[in-house]
Amino acid sequence: MKIILFDIDGTLVKAGGAGARALDHAVEAMTGHKNACASVQLQGATDKANFVNAFAAGSGRRPTARELAALTRKYVDRLPHEVLWSVKTKKYFKVKGVEKFLDRLAGRKDALLGLGTGNLKNGAFIKLEPSGLTKHFAFGGFGCDSHHRSEVLKKAVQRAGRLAKAPIKGGDVFVIGDTHRDVEAAKEAGYHSGVVLDGFGDKAAIMRSNPELIAKDFSDMKPWLIWLGLMKDPRGVRRGTYICPDSPIEHAHYGRTGMDLRDIELGMKKLREAKKKAAGK
Ligand SMILES: [Mg+2]
């Protein structure tokens, strides 16, 4: 049984800043400080960590446990309004190709789809609601499970094991996200990692984190299905040694060097030219 865990923000949907606005609203209600999220790096962290940092940006100190609970309530209360606002102003999007990709995966008996997200559980479903994708996710790991993204993923896998009524091996878990933090968490937990570049992640940081698969989005399902071991690689290359670049050599090149995208593109250009020369073209 393969377990496929999806991050939400930037991986399944882009909610048009609804989460940040809801958090800004909650921090302002408690501290009077406007736009607290402007000075906080939200992407790839858990909601709880973001709440603490945004509150600190507003008040100059960490919240007490009671304040954090109140802030969380205010955030969750406000979130549906902000998500609806994003939908109304046409700032809410599904990541390209994700609907068809999920439909394809949902038809398989050998794969279980779950969420692996820093969002609080109720926040996660509020954000997903307008996308119509919620039906695909029977379980998940959430920001309310732990501050640590790798623990969140492990929790999701525990729940998957209960659903599958069998223990799950790390090698059968595939984590799909949009930031280097998703990759780091997956690696820390001993799972596979794939990244969409069209989300909110920093490209150079993603490259350095060295996930097994990098793709712009899900509009071309093939590399994803090959990576998941659900489709045979037409080149006959073993899964895990081949990713988006044209050849395993190119992948090995950037996997080893960890250079950022621009350097890699320059390197690839050189490689391709050398290959053409060698082939006498
Ligand atoms: Mg994300």
Residues 22 and 109 in one domain: no
What was the pLDDT predicted at 247? 52
Confidence of residue 258 (pLDDT cuts 50, 70, 90): very low
For the record, the structure tokens of 158 come out as: 């525990």
Q: At what angle do helices 18-31 and 47-59 cross, to 10 degrees?
A: 40
What spacing in Å lies between the alpha carbon of 205 and ligand 1's midpoint?
14
DSSP 68-110: HHHHHHHHHHHHHHHHHHHHHTT--EEPTTHHHHHHHHHT-TT
- Domains held by the chain: number: 3
CA distance 208 to 174: 19
Residues 7 and 144 in one domain: yes
What spacing in Å lies between the alpha carbon of 118 and ligand 1's midpoint?
8
What spacing in Å lies between the alpha carbon of 156 and ligand 1's midpoint?
16
Final residue belonging to a domain, choices 30, 59, 88: 88
Residues 117 and 134 in one domain: yes
Residues 136 and 253 in one domain: no
What spacing in Å lies between the alpha carbon of 160 and ligand 1's midpoint?
21
User: Residues 9, 43: contact at Cβ < 8 Å?
Assistant: yes
Residues 239 and 249 in one domain: no
Enclosing domain of residue 281: 245-281
* Range with the poorest average pLDDT among 136-140, 153-157, 211-215, 235-239: 235-239
Q: In the chain, what percentage of residues exceed pLDDT 90?
A: 73
For the record, the structure tokens of 150 come out as: 């790798």
Query: pLDDT, tens digit, for every residue of 103-118?
Result: 999 989 999 999 999 9
Residues 7 and 75 in one domain: no
Residues 124 and 227 in one domain: yes
CATH of the domain at 136: 3.40.50.1000
What spacing in Å lies between the alpha carbon of 73 and ligand 1's midpoint?
22
What spacing in Å lies between the alpha carbon of 7 and ligand 1's midpoint?
6
Q: Residues, the chain, total?
A: 281
What is the maximal distance between C-alpha atoms in the chain? Answer: 71
Residues 135 and 232 in one domain: yes
Question: To which residue do tokens 């954000």 refer?
Answer: 127
For the record, the structure tokens of 32 come out as: 């009077």
